[in-house]
Chains A and B, each alone.
Chain A
Amino acid sequence: MAVAETAEGKADRATRFLWPSLAIPGTVWLILLFVVPFYGIMAVAFSSQLDILGQPIPAWNPLQWDFTVMRQVINESISGFYRPSWEHTFVYCFLAMMICVLVGYPVAYYVARLAGRNRGLLLALILAPWWINYLTRMLAWVGLLGDKGYVNEFLGLFGVTPVDWLAGNWYVVVIALAYGYLPFFIIPLYAYLDRIDQRLIEASRDLGANSFRTFFRVTLPLSRIGLITSIVITALPMFGDYYTNTLVSNSPATTMVGNSIEQSILSGFSRAKGASLVLILSAVLLVFMAYYLILTVRSSREAR
């Protein structure tokens, strides 16, 4: 008895250090590549001194933080010249997300539930765009939608006068965003749909629900978390995207927050403004994230 206890105690002590130690690589990674850079962004955003080149000197000491620029950027975001960027960002991302849902959900559903033995092939095809880098895929749109591009050539067959697709049209930006992020949307959703217990669906049909009713009463509610996961995973990078917009529009009329941040950061003098925008964007996305976490926690509690 006594012997067994000691052995158990040893094992306890070993696991006490073992499990937390597994978190070390992740923690180090997080500190080096997230906490430190993020603190750097704050130091720039809250800096109050300019160097000889007119660029902000990072304020590493929180006691010296100055929130003038932050306040100003918030004001400009609410009622000043940053307002259009924010509006564009929310509207474009929302619309692109709608396209992702309308196009992505049926695809994910089909692959998960109906594709049968073609599933592997279909998954590979969905992932295929990832074999080509994002920039190249976006440049393909430039080739397609250019003045003398294939789309205009095709429309020309029907006597349609060439359209200036790339002349700063919001809908082109929305389409390009949806196109760029669609695979990110489909894959997590597919994983959720794939996990839905087939027996539940069969039970629903057994009890007399037709396939539409089954979908709306069983499949869709069960995939709700998957849908939200997909939306979150897609929304986070989409909100910060700037090069999609740069490539297919590059017009001040379609500037998104990502573009404003890029411009501010590239241009040294307004780095503090860019850093402030980054912080505001992070805060906005944090709200989404928090909502998502609350939902998942609640649903896993319900599942139990």
Chain B
Amino acid sequence: MPNEANDSSRAPAWRPQLHRRDVLRGGAIAAVGLGAAPLLAACSSDNGSGQTASSDYPLARPDSPVTLPIFDDNKPIASGLEPENVGVLKVLNYADYMAPGVKSDFQDKYGAEVQVTPYNNYDEMLSKLNASGASFDVVFPGPSVLSRMVYGKLLQPFNNSYLSNIKNAWPEYQDPWYDRGSQYTVPYTVYTTGVAYRSDVVADPSEGYLMMWNADYAGKVGVLDDAGEALSMAMLAWDITDDINTADPEYINAAKEKLNELTGLVDVKIDITQYETIASGKFSVHQAWSGDMIAARWYLPKGETTEVLGYWVPDDGAQRVIGNDNIAIPKSSESPVLAHTFLNYMLDNTVSEKNFNWNGYQPPLDKLNAQYLIDGGYISDNLLSAVVVPEDFTKGIQFYEQPVAVQNMWLSAFMEFKSGGS
């Protein structure tokens, strides 16, 4: 990351001049101010203070959309270029998030093998993308991490003339609130976060999130390896707060304590392979994204049907955690034209349907609406809870981008949980 190692005095105005000492000081002030001694004494990590931390760039919210800047030293590529003939497209993505058939079709059509480098969460993705010398052509950032990547110049702006298929997307994703004018992202999938379970093991799925804290399933319970998802589930399950973007250290700590309980209570595991492990029966209950359970049918042992799979989300749409993933092109791409070609390819209705059939994650394309997918037999009746419709986004709760200090507070708490901390 040579550009990041520069002397900070030369940094542009938007660079957060955040010194760790400041963060610590902020954290200490917040701790004193709160007087929540027992909770905070248990956690002496470098929590930033949510209340005092601010961001030096605008953070997008549905009610205050942002247009991301285009920098002079980071312009879109020219129009009318031929895709580079390099034989390989380097993709940074979650594992098993793109259909093998879609990759091989792309290779047949454009002569480039799609190579995926996997990550478990955005934090890891940023780390890999930001490593010095790293070069990727395609990456899959959600709205909660986008501005940071744009202002950190990890992404390059699109030349939309290569992306004619964007017309297939839901209208709200042709001009989304986190990226007005779709300058840096095209939509990939929409999903809810809920609890996946084996319906042949779980007695009462209406327990909802509390299935995770049920000792009957000890040894076979997992949470997503994602600070936001795991901590927010604890917040919602135990009515700590409804605000899954909270910057309040007290709430975050309380959620962490609840996750820590899982370690002793059910010997919780932390991973993101629930589509396979719930299907195989290795897990009975696992926090999951909706797409996982639709895809899980491919991982069922011989002789078992989708009847054994279940997916729970709150009945009330206003309490559902909902999200969307995007596709973007890293600035470090050595084949940006090929990357644009790939993005446009992924927005194709037929390609997208094939991809959905395999990975179970709904693409927000008009043609592939919920009814079409149900009629197509992709989703069995007992998994209709995993279907997402556009209206869900007006009601559901979403993760928003946070100031770095708040983000790190969440990550810190999650790391303590993962370390088996007390």
Contact = CB atoms under 8 A, between A and B. Distances in A.
A41 to B, nearest CB: 15
Interface of B: 1, 4-5, 8, 14-16, 18-21, 23-24, 43-46, 120-121, 123-124, 126-127, 130, 148-149, 151-152, 154, 218-220, 260, 263-264, 267-271, 281-282, 404-405, 407-408, 411-412, 415-422
Range of interface residues on chain A?
Answer: 35 or more
Given A253-B267, A255-B418, A267-B415, A50 B44 contact: no
A10 B128 CA distance: 56
Nearest to A76: B44
Interface string A266-301: 111111110000000000000000000000000000
B16 A52 contact: yes
B419 A49 contact: no
A51 B152 contact: yes
B269 A82 contact: no
19 contacts: A50-B404, A52-B4, A52-B148, A53-B148, A54-B407, A66-B21, A68-B46, A81-B416, A147-B282, A164-B219, A167-B219, A252-B260, A252-B418, A266-B124, A267-B121, A267-B127, A268-B123, A268-B124, A270-B415
A219 interface: no
Interface of A: 47-58, 60, 66, 68-69, 72, 75-76, 80-85, 88, 146-147, 164, 167-168, 250-255, 259-260, 263-264, 266-273
A84 B421 contact: yes
Nearest to A268: B127
Q: Which 7 A-B pairs have the closest CB atoms?
A: A81-B421, A167-B219, A268-B127, A54-B404, A252-B420, A255-B420, A164-B219
Contacts of A56: 20
Output the residue of A49, A53, A55, A250 with the most chain B CB within 10 A.
A53
Contacts of A81: 43, 45, 416, 419-422
Contact of B126 (A55, A69, A270): A55
A172 to B, nearest CB: 12
A72 B45 contact: yes
A270 to B, nearest CB: 6
B269 to A, nearest CB: 5
Given A251-B263, A270-B408, A270-B411, 19 more contacts: A49-B20, A53-B148, A55-B130, A57-B4, A68-B24, A72-B46, A75-B44, A81-B422, A84-B421, A250-B271, A252-B418, A253-B420, A260-B419, A264-B415, A266-B120, A266-B127, A267-B121, A269-B408, A272-B20
Nearest to A54: B404
A48 B148 contact: no
Contact of B152 (A52, A66, A84): A52
B126 to A, nearest CB: 5
A143 B231 CA distance: 32
Nearest to B131: A268
Nearest to B150: A52
A48 B17 CA distance: 11
Contacts of B19: 48-50
Contacts of B415: 263-264, 267, 270, 273
Output the residue of B46, B127, B420 with the most chain A CB within 10 A.
B420
B269 A263 contact: no
Given A48-B21, A72-B45, A82 B126 contact: no
A146 B269 CA distance: 15
Output the residue of B23, B43, B123, B270 with the most chain A CB within 10 A.
B123
Contacts of A263: 415, 418-419
A264 B1 CA distance: 18
B58 to A, nearest CB: 14
Given A50-B404, A57-B5, A268 B418 contact: no
A241 B271 CA distance: 19
A93 B1 CA distance: 36
B49 to A, nearest CB: 14
A72 to B, nearest CB: 6
